[in-house]
Every structure is written in structure tokens, then in C-alpha cells.
Structure 1
């Protein structure tokens, strides 16, 4: 019994989303939400390559717009559910961008 089987790629991706959210959410204010500053820092540090080199894919999501669009309950913070909606939207945008490049 002791050893757990290795995580699948998808399980690892889910774990990484959770860990990344909490890495930034605890820096100021509520430790379970992202402030504007925390969201900006997360986007720059964790998506820096895409922000720098894949502008068509990510830059359309400026922090203010993202905050306004995601903050469904208008509390000025992005909770984990709102964060996952952002990651899903960015993943779709990136997929569309890369598919266009293949045609």
C-alpha cells in the first residue's frame, strides 16, 4: 500500500491551478481571493511568456476588464471559481490562436 500512482497530466494541471491560485491569493487581504494587485502579479509572473510573446492570445484580457468581467459578486476580489473561469477563457483563446496558426 504506500505509494500513490503518479498523477496524470490533467490531474497535475488541476493541482497546479489550485497551487498557483493560493500562491498569490494569500499576499494581501482575504487569503482565499485575488485582489487586483495579486491578479496582475499572477498574470505577469505566471503568464509572462504569453503576455510577452503571444499578445493576441492574452493581452485582450487587461487586468481591469478581467476584474470587472470576472468579479460576478462585485466584491473587488476574484475568488477561485472566478479564477477558473479566467483560466478556461484564456485556454480557449490560446487554442483558437494556435489553431488559426495551423491553417
Structure 2
């Protein structure tokens, strides 16, 4: 039986490879594959933005070796950044909620 963390890691790997290699290198996401993954897996992240500009910016920021593709290690950088940002939001939200509860006591 897998732990939740093991399942999360497994899911990240499966998600990456379900989008990579549709065109070209099966171990990397090209711009079109990255855009498709972002739209399907992170719709709230890309909705209401200029998709094309956002994808270009994300690709540029993630692409450490400047090959115009995102490999798994570069993909994990995106996941990590999203997890950190989400955690910061959660912590800040909880701090504000705690302050409100203290005021109402």
C-alpha cells in the first residue's frame, strides 16, 4: 500500500509523461505540450490570462538548459514553486483567520 506522498510523486511522474513526447522527445515537454498540460491540469492558473504569453514566460523561466523544452527536473521546479506559493497563501490565510478569531473573543 502506498502512502499519500508516494502516490503524489507517482502522480506527478504519470502526469508529466502523459503530456510529454506527443511530438518529438518523449522525455520533454515542448511549448505546445506544456500549454496543453497547463490548460488541462492547472486551469485556474491559466484561465483569464494571455495563455500564449504565460506559456512563453513559464517555458523561458523553467528552461534551465535553454533547449526550448521542459524536462522532468525543470517541470518539478514548476510544481515546487506552485506548492510553495500555495503554502504561503494557506499560511497567510490561516494567520488572518486566527487574528479575526482573537478579535471576536
Instruction: Report the equivalent of 2:24.
Output: 29
Distance change in 2, residues 1:97/1:41 (3 Å): same
Distance 1:39 1:85 in 2: 14
TM-score of the superposed pair, with normalisation by structure 2: 0.79
Residue of 79, 86, 92 corresponding to 2:78: 86
TM-score by length of 1: 0.80
- CA RMSD between the two structures: 2.2
Compare CA radii of gyration and give the structure with the larger one: 2
Cα distance in 2 for partners of 1:92, 1:82 equals 16
Q: State the shift of 1:51 in Å.
A: 4.3
Tell me the matched-pair count: 93
Structure 1: gaps spanning 5 or more residues: 1-5
- Hey, which of these two has a bigger chunk of helix by percent? 2
Residue 101 (structure 2) aligns with: none
Give every structure 1 segment of 4 or more consecutive aligned residues whose post-TM-superposition deviation is greater than 3 Å.
49-52
Find 1:66's aligned residue among 53, 58, 62: 58
d(CA) in 2 for partners of 1:40 and 1:31? 16
